[in-house]
Amino acid sequence: MTTVTGSGRQARHVGQVLDPGMDAGAVLARVGNTPLVPLDVLSRGLGSTVFVKLESENPGGSIKDRTALSMVRAAERSGELQPGGTIVESTSGNTGIGLALIGALTGHPVVVVTGDSISSEKLEALNRYGARVVFTDWSAPSDSPDNARAVAARITAEIPGAWRPLQFDNPANPRAHYEGTAPEIWEQTAGRVTHFVAGVGTGGTISGNGRYLKEKSGGHVEVIGADPYGSVYSGGHPGPILVDGVGNSWPKPDWPKVFDRGLLDRFLRIPNDEVYTTLHRLLNDEGLSLGPSSGLTVAAALRVARAAPHGSVVVAIAPDTGSNYQSKAFNPVWLADNHIRLATDLAED
């Protein structure tokens, strides 16, 4: 059963969605060029430096602002998306928020098809940017009329001139990182980066960054995928994935087209307890409020730094802000319900 929230309201104009008088061009210019900060406390004594690329600093709060802008601009250039044309995407998270923000700034109404498990904070962000949100059964199989992609296809067919970015297949997704994120990392480390760590959802982040950093370094930068339990990317059995935006339960033939597995040197599979302990330490010890997939990548980066030659420079992507996860990752009830134990709890036993 498909339902529409917000009484099916249409996306509004920028002036109504964002602060009146806000300069859309100025907000768009704030996408990318994110800070790269060293983890002083967490990497103390490791003999190597661990940096995090704070994608939480993008105006919509995540790395997906880059992807959304890249895909929208490419479609405008190719003519697939005409001025005022509607953007329709099925997404359970940040891509929807990124598209909602970029759509509002570039004059395109946005429809996001999503599932019940979306956090209340992410839903609020979609509403704030004026997206129309369509709920469907996220677990509906591909041959069901309630399947998210099927619903998105139906809505696209109903709206003249509507366009679907299809982030899993769209080369403008990894290109955002090949042309943006990775050159920034290269410059910010003055070419000294030795290891790059990212989670894999669509694979756009790791493929775009991985390709650029391998090319620039003559193959010297090691590219490491951080994978949660329940994901098959790192060779595990499919199961519940408790880290938003990363991992995959589909068999290999169905992996996203934009994910170039050949660019990765290896995967590290990180237990949920370690992901969430690292996430809470990032907040408590480093003052960084980040989302769970940042706990995943930083936990993996710390493992890498522990084993790497002295003086290595490890860069981990922090995909999004912690403010969208107060009801989940930072809520003791949610953690207990999901059997996640922080190292501090374990120490108290």
> Which residue number is nearest to ligand PMP in terms of Cβ?
245
**Binder of ligand PMP out of 74, 81, 172, 200 (CB under 6 A):** 200
What pairing do the DSSP bridges indicate for beta strands 132-135 and 110-114? parallel
Rule CB under 6 A: which of 286-305 touch ligand PMP?
291, 293
Rule CB under 6 A: which of 26-85 touch ligand PMP?
64
**Nearest CB to ligand PMP, comparing residues 72 and 200:** 200
Give yes or no for a contact between 182 and 198, defined as CB atoms under 8 angstroms apart.
Answer: no
320 binds ligand PMP (CB under 6 A): yes
Is 53 a known active-site residue?
no
Give yes or no for a contact between 190 and 165, defined as CB atoms under 8 angstroms apart.
Answer: no
- Taking the C-alpha atoms of residue 22 and residue 305, their distance in angstroms, rounded to an integer, is 43
**Binder of ligand PMP out of 203, 228, 247, 322 (CB under 6 A):** 203
What pairing do the DSSP bridges indicate for beta strands 266-270 and 110-114? unpaired
Q: Concatenated DSSP letters for 177-205? A: IIIIIHHHHHHHTTT---EEEEE-SSSHH
165 binds ligand PMP (CB under 6 A): no
- Taking the C-alpha atoms of residue 226 and residue 298, their distance in angstroms, rounded to an integer, is 9
Q: What is the contact mask toward ligand PMP in residues 82 to 101, using x (rule: CB under 6 A)? A: -----------xx-------
Residue with token string 């970029």: 102
Burial class (CB in 10 A: 0-12, 13-18, 19+), 8: exposed
Residue with token string 């997206």: 131
* Tokens (6 digits) for 13: 């104009």
**Nearest CB to ligand PMP, comparing residues 2 and 255:** 255
Rule CB under 6 A: which of 239-278 touch ligand PMP?
244-246
Cβ at position 331, least distance to ligand PMP in Å: 17
147 binds ligand PMP (CB under 6 A): no
Please identify every residue annotated as catalytic. Answer: 64
Binding positions for ligand PMP, rule: CB under 6 A: 64, 93-94, 199-205, 244-246, 291, 293, 319-320
